[in-house]
Amino acid sequence: MGNQPHSLLTRFLKWRYKHISHKTFTHLMSVVLGFLAGLAAVTLKNATYFIESALDRGVLFLSEEIYFILPIVGLTLVYLYVKYVHKAKLEHAISSILFALSRKKGLIQAKKIVTPLITAPLTVGFGGSVGLLGPAVASGAAISSNISRMLHISSQERSLLIACASAGAIASVFQAPIAAIIFAVEVFSLDLTMLSMLPLLLASISGVLTSYFFLGDENLFTFELQDSFAVRDSLYYILLGMGTAVASVYFTRMYFGIMKLFQPLRSPKYRLLVGGLAIGTMLYFIPPLYGEGFGFINSLLEGDHLAALGTTPFDAYTHNIWVVIGLLFGITLFKAVAMTTTFAAGGAGGIFIPTMVMGGALGNMLAKVINNLGLGLSVSESNFTLIGMAGLIAGVIHAPLTAIFLIAEITGGYDLFVPLMITAAMSFLITRNTMDHTIYTRELARIGALITHNKDQTVLTLMELDDVIETGFREVRKEMTLGEMLLESVAKSTRNIFPVVDADGKLEGIVLLDDIREFMFDTAMYDKITVASFLQNPPEKIFYESDSMKQVMKKFQDSGAWNLPVVRNGKYAGFVSKSKLLTAYRRKLITFAR
């Protein structure tokens, strides 16, 4: 009985290989994975809304005035789950997927299917100022990875299906299938060919239909276009693009700054306490920072800034529009702080939706400033709110097309395409020239594990050093005589280079066959000369732990060598030859280009 599931799977795989073509099976899998990823996203949203509604009804607390302590409760529950169930450090959702694609052949642990579905609702439902998109994508990617592994799907196809599941999750969260496809292309650096286009399209459709079935077809934001785009407003949208670019740089640098600030707090308990108190304090003064913030954005789009701001200690002054502008500016500044503090305190979530909230606040604030300067200027506050979101997404994520199509799709505001393009392009251009990498990619770029649209760079990233290390070299010691070296190493080797190592296996240098050639037939010198006489330093060394394949290639280029030694954990581990490296590169390029 124990072998029955395995037997059924084997029979299914045999039947599949006989009756279903590779292309058809990929298309079927994209539909199934889009549905499962969409289901994970729906589960995530419903779990979060259940917690939020339970807290709103006062199920857990008698007084609404102490809601600001809720983040500590949520973070504590996450901490207990991670410590006793997950038993591993929580990782940033999108970054961990990108790392799995570049370094682990798309293999993701099965427990990462469930963990985001538990930790993210606990974090967001109890007030953590993060989003649900990242966890939804992480769960969908883990589902795809494990099903692909179970069905013996190749690593290349597995990567495509992970992108498909991600598109399905995004389509389900936002009910925006086109933006979901573009996100997969921009963020996961897929080549948009017919080979990838159709599976992404099928997965995206499957994900959005799943959302419609369980959640209905209501748009995420309640928006009706009241003011159409006029050419004379172009300057204002350029100004908004510049403002969102500055905010994007601030958002990213604040993220890394606060994460670094929490590093001295080694204990997760201290991080939880300090972070939870900090978030609670921010929530007390700025209630819209609570949770994801979609209610805040909808109120702004409806023109009700008092409902958006909620109850604050400054309610007595909100009749003054400049106080409202100041509070919106505070939300713009502190959304990044509250989000990063949630992460640093041990919470789980994503950064995508916080960028939308911050962008919406900034856009609405800038529109109010223009409208209240007393110069007779007038712009649409609801339009600026929407387009501000696009500007922040384009700047923070470096995904301008995703920003444009997402805002257009979730609002039905296709008439705003031109201002969306102006603001997103301006924000992206400025931030891309200010920061090479995003929150998703900075650490991956540092360790050489980042996949990009640069095909040459991507191929090098996907290559593994283990595949090109050769160990068939005869080692020698520097105290050996020439005769001993000839007898024990040269006579038994087909190589023309010999690593010199000490008793502990540490590389001391190399000896070239050309250097000893003139003495090889002079037997009188066999006992008079030692290996140390021919010892020389290699032109470069390859360090296994720190050198990326791009750095390895550069070392060959700069040194002009044909063989370079590899040092692993401080000891000699073998050689990499230029010929084998180039052969491996060519094979990977051919595979990648299919």
Q: What is the pLDDT of residues 443-459, one digit of tens each?
A: 776 766 555 555 556 66
pLDDT of residue 3: 56
The larger pLDDT score, comparing residue 585 to residue 330, is at 330
CATH class of 457-593: alpha beta
Residues of the chain with CATH 3.10.580.10: 457-593
Question: Which of these, 211, 87, 92, lies nearest to 141 by C-alpha position?
Answer: 92
- What pTM was estimated for this model as a whole? 0.78
In angstroms, the CA 432 to CA 400 distance is 11
Residues of the chain with CATH 1.10.3080.10: 4-215, 231-450
Token pair recorded at residue 131: 């989003």
Per residue in 208-227, pLDDT tens? 999 888 877 666 666 666 66
User: Domain 4-215, CATH 3.50.50.60 — does that match?
Assistant: no
Per residue in 470-507, pLDDT tens? 888 888 898 888 888 888 888 888 888 899 998 888 99
pLDDT of residue 61: 47
Map tokens 């649209």 to a residue: 453
Mean pLDDT within 425-432: 94
Token pair recorded at residue 113: 């299917």
* 563-568/571-577 β-pairing: antiparallel
Q: What is the DSSP letter of 528?
A: T
For domain 231-450, the CATH architecture is Orthogonal Bundle (1.10)
CB atoms within 10 A of CB 579: 11
Mean pLDDT within 303-315: 79
Map tokens 């974090």 to a residue: 123
